[in-house]
């Protein structure tokens, strides 16, 4: 009596071994690395992918800096709370928190409005390309209707 789990594990093992055997037969081609400098000594022109990678790296660095700044401000605030022993000091902290909250809410509203404006612009640009969208939709319908089973 065969056990289904054992059979499935063995078949998976056979597939993996045959795939690794095929991979061993194919030669390994090392990746091509571009030269660091061009023959005239100038830097090579950056590729679009490298610019995106640079933008991502800068965004990550900015996010890490913002996180560190936030954690520092949070720790400072906790220290202020612990040291606020009088009613006046606590009231001052409440006012500061309320002011910071209002600044945040204002920035959040502005970001939402900017996003709505961007979406409206993109929708307007899409209207200019509506004929291309309609053509693509019609081509997809034609391909579907042209099949034997469709």
Q: Which of 75, 80, 102 is nearest to 91 (CA)?
A: 80
The three-state (H, E, C) secondary structure of 20-63, written as one string: HHHHHHCCCCCCCCCCCCCCCCCCCCCCHHHHHHHHHHHHHHHH
pLDDT tens digits for range 115-131: 999 999 988 888 778 88
Of residues 70 and 1, which shows the higher confidence score? Answer: 70
Answering whether pTM is above 0.75, one says no
pLDDT tens digits for range 31-57: 555 555 555 556 667 666 667 788 888
Task: Quickly state the pLDDT bin for 7 (edges 50, 70, 90).
Answer: low
Rounded-to-integer distance, Cα 144 and Cα 150, Å:
6
pLDDT tens digits for range 104-119: 999 999 999 999 999 9
pLDDT tens digits for range 16-37: 555 544 544 445 455 555 555 5
Question: Could you write out the DSSP letters of every residue in 95-118?
Answer: HHHHHHHHHHHHHHHHHHHHHHHH
């Amino acid at each position: 009596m065969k056990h289904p789990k054992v059979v499935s594990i063995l078949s998976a093992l056979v597939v993996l071994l045959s795939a690794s055997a095929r991979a061993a037969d194919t030669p390994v081609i090392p990746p091509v690395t571009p030269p660091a400098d061009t023959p005239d000594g100038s830097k090579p022109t950056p590729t679009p992918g490298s610019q995106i990678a640079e933008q991502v790296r800068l965004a990550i660095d900015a996010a890490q800096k913002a996180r560190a700044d936030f954690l520092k401000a949070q720790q400072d605030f906790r220290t202020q709370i612990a040291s606020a022993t009088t009613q006046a000091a606590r009231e001052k902290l409440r006012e500061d928190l309320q002011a910071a909250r209002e600044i945040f809410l204002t920035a959040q509203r502005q970001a939402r409005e900017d996003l709505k404006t961007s979406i409206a612009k993109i929708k307007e640009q899409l209207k200019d390309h509506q004929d291309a969208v309609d053509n693509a939709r019609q081509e997809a319908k034609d391909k579907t209707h042209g099949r034997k089973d469709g």
